[in-house]
Structure 1
Amino acid sequence: MLAVTSLSDIKTVGVVGGSLGGLFQAVALSELGLDVTVWERSAGRPDDRGAGIVLQPSVAWFLSVFCGVDPDQVSVPVTHRQFFTRDGRSHHTLMRQQMISWGAIYKPLRDRLDTVRYRDGQHVDVLTPRPDGVDVQVGAAVHPVDLAIIADGSASRHRGLVAPNREPRYAGYVAYRGVIDEGELPEELSAVFRDRFSFYDGDRTQFLCYFIPGDFGTTEPGKRRMNWVWYVRADAADLDRTTTDRNGTAHGLSLPPGLIAPQVHAELLDRARRLLPQPIRELVEHTREPFAQAILDGRVSRMRKDRILLTGDAAFVVRPHTAASAEKAAADAITLFTALQQVPSVEAALEAWERDRLAEGAALYRHGVGLGQRMGLNAPEATPITRRTD
């Protein structure tokens, strides 16, 4: 057990949300000997066919130190960046990076928490502050904790307790995404992208792609997956059409895999044939179940109120161009873990944590908006979000 100097009055922690942001916090704080409970409203483990992520240092360090996972064994290395022109030609620059899947991060984190600590299919209804902690209401049960961490994502239901009137805003474009089993790609097409982080920058659009681990985190060539992202401008009406599924159900800010409406899929393929270089266009054509998400901007001016903290995308929603969403969530947890060990009082530790994370979040927020502006993707004016993803 680690020696801790500032936790004399914190023994129990409640985490609202069991995706990456909540799991980073729960795993780190469990290492401090705290009694941590995670409440996740979704039931069961999610499908491992989610999008790819650039493996950043804080995530790699967290997996290694807290989960005993060698990040090199669960990620796919690339040595070059590849830039396409409209006619399909490309040039390369040397840049080593590692690519990982959402599921390859989620699994070792989730495996660190047993069913007593991780309670899926349970929705947190109310958080009620007390002088010495927080009451977490789940259904008819009330669970008193000494510290509550809100980690329920960009559509957070509880953000307003700490940062009122700070809902994310729609940035004016969507990210279409696709994941393809490497074995389903023709060998000559797969070879074009092997060992490459590939880009195409067009007129107010960007496409990028790279290989990520396959099932169960395998990185064996031939068993990996190709991950692609295509940023496309979309006004409010286009967003509604894109995220309304084949059954007519409106999903608001995202469309899960397997639900794209036939007409929207046909339009996506037509746009790819008109606008994308040939090798990249073929990736879109080989994708059975493309999905989509709205690009959002979200920032807060505070991440703490008494014993309630905001973390991950419940605090700052940064654009995916920054490749920093998972990194930011991991750093939130590492910084809190470190502050609670090194700062003599809990209040001082939480203040130091908030100060550090506000500065980092604001910097990433500005960086992402700037990247969108340089690519010509930003809408003239961001649109407030008045609906939730569910």
Structure 2
Amino acid sequence: MFAVSTVPDIESVGVVGGSLGGLFQAVALAELGLDVTVWERSAGRPDDRGAGIVLQPSVAWFLSTFCDVDPDRISVPVTHRQFFARDGRSHHTLMRQQMISWGAIYKSLRDRLDSARYHDGQSVTALTPRRDAVDIHVGDAVHSVHSVDLAIIADGSASRHRGLVAPDRAPHYAGYVAYRGVIDETDLPAELSAVFRDRFSFYDGEHTQFLCYFIPGDFGAVAPGSRRMNWVWYVRADAAGLDRITTDRDGTAYGLSLPPGLIAPQVHAELLDRARTLLPEPLRRLVEGTREPFAQAILDGRVGRMRQGRMLLTGDAAFVVRPHTAASAEKAAADAITLFTALQQLPSMDAALAAWEKNRLAEGTALYRHGIDLGQRLGLNDPTPTTATGAGRTL
């Protein structure tokens, strides 16, 4: 591992948000010998029923280098891309990739980070910048204040603190949603499992795209029978449609996403009807075989700056890029690797943060534009995107 070095002008770091973006930063900066503390507003360790992720180079390198985890042992290989026609016929091309799950990455990062550094169920209510520090206010009725040399804002696309660094930069709804589902491998009929084995499968229809692939099971399990099938279906929806999709069976509006197990019966019925009408038969069967589909709005978000004094934006709190780029986790890992390198190599914190911001702004902007271009090619873009507000939600 790395030799602990002295980083000029910095000893303590506070990370706001304990999902992947915050964890990448916390693990990397702890390796520099810095006193790192993470605050995550959600309570308890999350389960691993979330979506799959294409394993990209920065994530793989981070897991291997910082977490001493062989990414090949917690990911599922694919050898080909498979393309379906509407009648169910398919063709494929050779393309090797590794597929991983959110949970496998999360577990690797949490296992590496000293548990005493991670505080879940503790919401950061405010950040107060001072000349050479940032005060982090934690808790509501009874709160505490923690002074740190550097504050990293990593609380995701719905960041509560983005405006301290980049005012008026709320993400925008792109005009379509991603329905998602996971199915345990043991629940897939053998003949259907064989259709998708070793394949990253796609179907491009009119104003829609469906893709699927196998991912690890619980927090990285890849043994035969323990994996899951992960599918994503991009469907256009206007603002009213988004409201319906993200309102649960009890009438509670979630705004921009709907967790597993909460889909309203009528919305679920419409999803199944759409699958029977539009999808090739193998893909339709995946949708029909999913007990708890979930959904998220597709957003575009960019910032003009990622640094204000000793506060940094990172991960989706800075740039929200579309899932077609397969780059959200990759971008967060690269944010952390780049900051680690800059602090280790440059003579002062100011020089390091300036170099880091320049690098990450360039890459984030490129990914932001690439995602919009991909949506355009697929015919998914909303011609009149609007700020992601309404129905009681504001980013």
TM-score range (shorter-chain normalised) is over 0.9
2:187 alignment counterpart? 184
TM-aligned CA deviation for residue 388 of structure 1: 4.1
**2-structure distance, mates of 1:10, 1:342:** 14
Aligned pair 1:130/2:117, yes or no? no
Aligned pair 1:310/2:318, yes or no? no
From 153, 156, 180, give the equivalent of 1:153.
156
**2-structure distance, mates of 1:115, 1:292:** 31
TM-aligned CA deviation for residue 47 of structure 1: 1.1
Q: Secondary structure, in 3 states, of the residue corresponding to 2:204? A: strand
Q: CA RMSD in A?
A: 1.1
Aligned pair 1:244/2:250, yes or no? no
Question: How many residues are aligned here?
Answer: 389
1:335 alignment counterpart? 338
TM-aligned CA deviation for residue 345 of structure 1: 1.1
2:73 alignment counterpart? 73
8 Å Cα contact 1:177/1:230 also seen in 2:
yes
AA in 2 matched with 1:16: V
TM-aligned CA deviation for residue 389 of structure 1: 8.2
Q: Secondary structure, in 3 states, of the residue corresponding to 2:115? A: coil
AA in 2 matched with 1:324: A
1:354 alignment counterpart? 357
8 Å Cα contact 1:4/1:340 also seen in 2:
no
8 Å Cα contact 2:177/2:296 also seen in 1:
yes
1:117 alignment counterpart? 117
Q: Secondary structure, in 3 states, of the residue corresponding to 1:23? A: helix
Aligned pair 1:8/2:8, yes or no? yes
TM-score (ref. length: structure 2): 0.97
2:278 alignment counterpart? 275
8 Å Cα contact 1:3/1:341 also seen in 2:
no
Aligned pair 1:344/2:347, yes or no? yes
1:172-213 Cα shifts (integer Å, max 9, x gaps): 000000000010010000000000000000000000000000
**1-structure distance, mates of 2:78, 2:146:** 46
1:1-390 matched pairs, under 5 angstroms: 2-4=3-5, 7-139=7-139, 140-386=143-389, 388=393
Q: Secondary structure, in 3 states, of the residue corresponding to 1:27? A: helix
The 10-residue stretch of structure 1 (71-80 or 216-225) with the greater mean CA deviation from structure 2: 216-225
**2-structure distance, mates of 1:112, 1:35:** 15
1:269-315 Cα shifts (integer Å, max 9, x gaps): 00000000000000000000000000000000000011000000000
1:159-179 Cα shifts (integer Å, max 9, x gaps): 000000000000000000000
AA in 1 matched with 2:276: R
8 Å Cα contact 1:84/1:198 also seen in 2:
yes
**2-structure distance, mates of 1:64, 1:389:** 38
**2-structure distance, mates of 1:2, 1:26:** 17
**1-structure distance, mates of 2:199, 2:367:** 25
Distance 1:3 1:38, change over 3 A: closer
**2-structure distance, mates of 1:111, 1:164:** 35
AA in 2 matched with 1:279: P
Q: Secondary structure, in 3 states, of the residue corresponding to 2:28? A: helix
1:213-255 Cα shifts (integer Å, max 9, x gaps): 0124111122100000000000000000000001110000000
Q: Secondary structure, in 3 states, of the residue corresponding to 1:10? A: coil
Q: Secondary structure, in 3 states, of the residue corresponding to 2:253? A: coil
AA in 1 matched with 2:346: V
**2-structure distance, mates of 1:109, 1:245:** 32
The 10-residue stretch of structure 1 (76-85 or 107-116) with the greater mean CA deviation from structure 2: 107-116
1:43-62 Cα shifts (integer Å, max 9, x gaps): 00111010000000000000
**2-structure distance, mates of 1:147, 1:200:** 45
8 Å Cα contact 1:127/1:135 also seen in 2:
yes
8 Å Cα contact 2:4/2:33 also seen in 1:
no
**2-structure distance, mates of 1:227, 1:186:** 15
TM-score (ref. length: structure 1): 0.98
AA in 2 matched with 1:202: G
**1-structure distance, mates of 2:388, 2:364:** 20
Distance 1:352 1:367, change over 3 A: same
AA in 1 matched with 2:88: G
AA in 2 matched with 1:93: T
AA in 2 matched with 1:321: H
**2-structure distance, mates of 1:13, 1:112:** 17
AA in 2 matched with 1:105: I
1:49-99 Cα shifts (integer Å, max 9, x gaps): 100000000000000011110000000000000000000000000000000
The 10-residue stretch of structure 1 (217-226 or 65-74) with the greater mean CA deviation from structure 2: 217-226
Q: Secondary structure, in 3 states, of the residue corresponding to 2:48? A: coil
**2-structure distance, mates of 1:351, 1:108:** 30
AA in 2 matched with 1:2: A
**1-structure distance, mates of 2:35, 2:394:** 31
Q: Secondary structure, in 3 states, of the residue corresponding to 2:379? A: coil
8 Å Cα contact 2:263/2:293 also seen in 1:
yes
Q: Secondary structure, in 3 states, of the residue corresponding to 1:378? A: coil
**1-structure distance, mates of 2:259, 2:103:** 15
